[in-house]
Amino acid sequence: AQKVTQAQTEISVVEKEDVTLDCVYETRDTTYYLFWYKQPPSGELVFLIRRNSFDEQNEISGRYSWNFQKSTSSFNFTITASQVVDSAVYFCALSEAGRGSTLGRLYFGRGTQLTVWP
């Protein structure tokens, strides 16, 4: 079963629009970590944010914000006033820390290709 689901395969927006990338995860562990990575066309995965399961506080970093809701097992990512440079594939990922988990393993979603048009 897929541990991380990113239902949106591709999203296209016009510059300055707000866009939300969805991420739904599945785990039985009470301690786990969620991540978002950005992969521009150059190929390098860029770390954006890490959240642990005990911290449901939403976070804002410039134009980026994240909404973590344990009740719906979601960790959504919003880009406000999108720019062409935001065009990339965005991956949501899960790391489990419970007993029997494979420590160090990141479970990636399939990614969402975001295209921002000028």
Partner 1 sequence: DTEVTQTPKHLVMGMTNKKSLKCEQHMGHRAMYWYKQKAKKPPELMFVYSYEKLSINESVPSRFSPECPNSSLLNLHLHALQPEDSALYLCASSQEPYGQGDEQYFGPGTRLTVT
Contacts with partner 1 by CB under 8 A lie at 31-33, 35, 37, 42-47, 50, 52, 91, 95, 97, 102-106, 108-111
C-beta of 114: minimal distance to partner 1 in Å?
Answer: 14
Choice between 5 and 67, CB closer to partner 1: 5
Q: How many CB atoms lie within 10 A of CB 54?
A: 9
Choice between 10 and 15, CB closer to partner 1: 10
C-beta of 81: minimal distance to partner 1 in Å?
Answer: 26
C-beta of 46: minimal distance to partner 1 in Å?
Answer: 8
Contacts with 43 (C-beta within 8 Å, 6 or more apart), sequence order: none
Q: Where are the beta strands (DSSP E) in the chain?
A: 4-5, 10-14, 19-21, 24-25, 32-39, 46-52, 59-61, 64-69, 74-79, 88-96, 107-108, 112-117
Choice between 44 and 118, CB closer to partner 1: 44
Choice between 79 and 92, CB closer to partner 1: 92
Backbone angles phi, psi at 18, to 5 degrees: -90, 145
